[in-house]
Structure 1
Amino acid sequence: MTMSFRYRSTSHALTAALFVVGTLGCAVALAATYLFFVRTTTGQFIDESALVEAVQLYGTAGKAATQFLDWLPALSLLIATLVVLVVTVVKRRWAAAGIAVAAAVGANLTTQLIKNLVPDRPYRGIETLELNSLPSGHTTLAASAAAAVFLMSSPRWRPLAGFLGGTFAVATGVSTLINQWHRPADVVAAFLVVGMFTLPAGWLVMRTGARWNGWEGYNRHWASVRLWVALPVLAGLASAVVAAYSLLKIAPGPGQEGSTTNYFWAGTALIVITGYLATVAGVWLFGHAALRLRPRHQGTPGRRPVQ
């Protein structure tokens, strides 16, 4: 039997509150990341140790990371531009396109402003470059391009877009660490800057048109199966195990040993956890905010789902 659909919306006040809380959470986490990893001795030591230990893995991985980072600006812009243009022209989502592009530009400008206006890292007894490298510009570029694609995707495509975009951003962040361009905290800060702009932009996008922001829920389309949410969750849990093991190996105690790559793996795990946590939170929040399509029998007035 052919089915038509009607909409069921969630509370606008609750949805708006969740987006506001998420945005403020990103801002607070960004400030905390800066204060701990840049302004304190312990934070500087952990961050710098991860960067120094990346030398142990340089070689084949380093060459691959360098090639990836060399292509990153063009690749990010190409992917985001193609998706935004195609979706805008085909689906006529002009307002959403403007919002998505503005959010990406805002995130990248903010990163450059922070790097240039925030005072250089103070000397705390740790041998390190004093120039402020937080947040990572390359990671901001990759994450903001992925976020623009995510914002332009219809709800049924967002779980897949979130997973692929999150993986792209995480791979970029890890590559900057392997290549010794950035410390782990720089990458984490970049994720948070992008989150600060993506969330309010996402709330606006969700208000630009009810029809294309409706969906039937998870597992009704291959791009919205729960697998795309489960994979980043599993990757985050595995990274948490790696981080815990690495930190235990270097924790003060009778069994303490000198670190060769433990700080590096802990820093890498922090990047993966943060990137995929943001991915899962974003997919969940946007899924919660989307208008739900409820089936009705043929002959009953309603709207058909949007592809």
Structure 2
Amino acid sequence: MTFQLRDPRRKKQGRQQQGRQKPRRPAGRMRLAAGTGFLFAVATLACAMGLAATYYYFVRTTTGQFIDESALVEAVEIHGPAGKVTTRFLDWLPTISLVMAAVVVLLVTVIHRRWRAAGIAVAACVAANIATQVLKDLLPVRPYRGVETLELNSLPSGHTTLAASAAAAVFLMSSPRWRPLAGFVGGTFAIASGMSTLVNQWHRPADVVAAFLVVGCFMIPAGWLILRNDGHEWNVWDGFGGHWGSARLWIGLPVVLGLASAAVSVYSLVMIAPGISQEASTTNYFWAGISLIVIAGYLATVATTSLFAYAVRRRN
């Protein structure tokens, strides 16, 4: 029987090779879904095109100006009973938005050490609000199309941009299992902010929709950067239904509310359409404008939540 002595140098070399080996990826993490970058680029482009289309139709055309301005004028009929509540809400809106975003971003950053994600989310939020003010100054004033209206440009809405961007920052910093709930709550908050500006006659419906689109132009690319650079195990989930914060209810509810608003809009416009049963509009355009805000807000909510749900890493 022969014995073979181990060479201590081989043992040392083996340890060095093991030390140079790359750490294995945890079993619970996967790369982003295929085509994620393309989908995020398409979504961003859609927001930019939607913003341009909103400006052109509601500011540059006679029909768009008439619908938009009529909704603003008819808000007088609603302002009486609802004015005090919405005015107080709008007065507190900047504080609520900033505190909400600051608390969530700060907590998530400190607890999960997501410094880079926080920086991206905050930078996108600030950029969206700056872009809104720049657009107000750069976009041409409303041309006269036979509609009595103020010539100064009020598109996009600054209050709505602030509320929507704050809600979007919270959405981006939320873990995947909480994002559907955060999207619904944040979307509802932004929609309520936009409706309040219409009730108070601060902004037209198109101003609010444009604000949603401006926020999308900045926050969607920011979300892609966060997902792409966030390598934490924290950024995974089990899919819809794996947690009550990611229940399908938070996707289904805005769809139902959006469809209901579409029905209200169609009914309001049909009642004042030329025909035998045509009525004189008192609040029809106003309710159509409110419906437009709700539809746009919840459509953005569902689309964004679905986009992030597709892109996020899945547990095995």
How much has 1:256 moved relative to structure 2? 1.2
Deviation string 1:42-70 (CA, Å, 9 cap, x unpaired) is 10000000000000111221110000000
Once residues 211 and 93 of structure 2 are traced to their aligned partners in structure 1, the CA distance between those partners, rounded to angstroms, is 15
How much has 1:6 moved relative to structure 2? 2.6
Amino acid at match of 1:192: L
Alpha-carbon contact 2:68-2:206 (below 8 Å) kept: yes
1:281 matched to 2:298: no
Once residues 249 and 99 of structure 1 are traced to their aligned partners in structure 2, the CA distance between those partners, rounded to angstroms, is 47
How much has 1:117 moved relative to structure 2? 1.1
2:273 to 247, 251, 256: 251
How much has 1:252 moved relative to structure 2? 1.6
Amino acid at match of 2:111: V
2:67 to 46, 58, 67: 46
RMSD after superposition: 1.1
Deviation string 1:171-227 (CA, Å, 9 cap, x unpaired) is 000000000000000000000000001110000010122322211111111111111
Amino acid at match of 1:231: L
TM-score (ref. length: structure 2): 0.90
1:98 matched to 2:119: yes
Q: Secondary structure at the match of 1:212?
A: coil
How much has 1:10 moved relative to structure 2? 4.5
Q: Secondary structure at the match of 1:51?
A: helix
How much has 1:85 moved relative to structure 2? 0.7
Q: Secondary structure at the match of 1:59?
A: helix
Deviation string 1:220-261 (CA, Å, 9 cap, x unpaired) is 111111111111111101001001101111112222111000
How much has 1:74 moved relative to structure 2? 0.7
1:113 to 130, 134, 156: 134
Q: Secondary structure at the match of 2:146?
A: coil
Which of these two proteins has the greater Rg computed from alpha carbons? 2
Matching residue of 1:88: 109
1:16 matched to 2:37: yes
Amino acid at match of 2:305: V
Matching residue of 2:187: 166
How much has 1:133 moved relative to structure 2? 0.1
Deviation string 1:117-141 (CA, Å, 9 cap, x unpaired) is 1111111111111100000000000
Matching residue of 1:137: 158
1:181 matched to 2:202: yes
Matching residue of 2:245: 223
Deviation string 1:68-87 (CA, Å, 9 cap, x unpaired) is 00000011000000111111
Q: Which has the higher contact order (CA 8 A, sep 6+)?
A: 1
Matching residue of 1:156: 177
How much has 1:41 moved relative to structure 2? 0.7
Once residues 27 and 79 of structure 2 are traced to their aligned partners in structure 1, the CA distance between those partners, rounded to angstroms, is 55
Once residues 220 and 109 of structure 1 are traced to their aligned partners in structure 2, the CA distance between those partners, rounded to angstroms, is 38
Amino acid at match of 1:123: Y
1:194 to 194, 211, 215: 215
Once residues 31 and 266 of structure 2 are traced to their aligned partners in structure 1, the CA distance between those partners, rounded to angstroms, is 41
Q: Secondary structure at the match of 1:6?
A: coil
Name which of structure 1's ranges 245-254 and 175-184 shifts more when overlaid on structure 2: 245-254
Once residues 28 and 184 of structure 2 are traced to their aligned partners in structure 1, the CA distance between those partners, rounded to angstroms, is 28
Matching residue of 1:304: none
Amino acid at match of 2:242: R
Once residues 71 and 178 of structure 1 are traced to their aligned partners in structure 2, the CA distance between those partners, rounded to angstroms, is 16
Q: Secondary structure at the match of 1:186?
A: helix
Alpha-carbon contact 2:33-2:313 (below 8 Å) kept: no
1:266 matched to 2:288: yes
TM-score (ref. length: structure 1): 0.93
Amino acid at match of 1:282: T
Once residues 95 and 169 of structure 1 are traced to their aligned partners in structure 2, the CA distance between those partners, rounded to angstroms, is 25
Once residues 11 and 137 of structure 1 are traced to their aligned partners in structure 2, the CA distance between those partners, rounded to angstroms, is 35
Amino acid at match of 1:107: A
Amino acid at match of 2:264: V
1:29 matched to 2:26: no
Alpha-carbon contact 2:33-2:312 (below 8 Å) kept: no
Amino acid at match of 1:156: R
Q: Where do 5+ consecutive residues of structure 1 fail to align? A: 295-307
How much has 1:158 moved relative to structure 2? 0.2
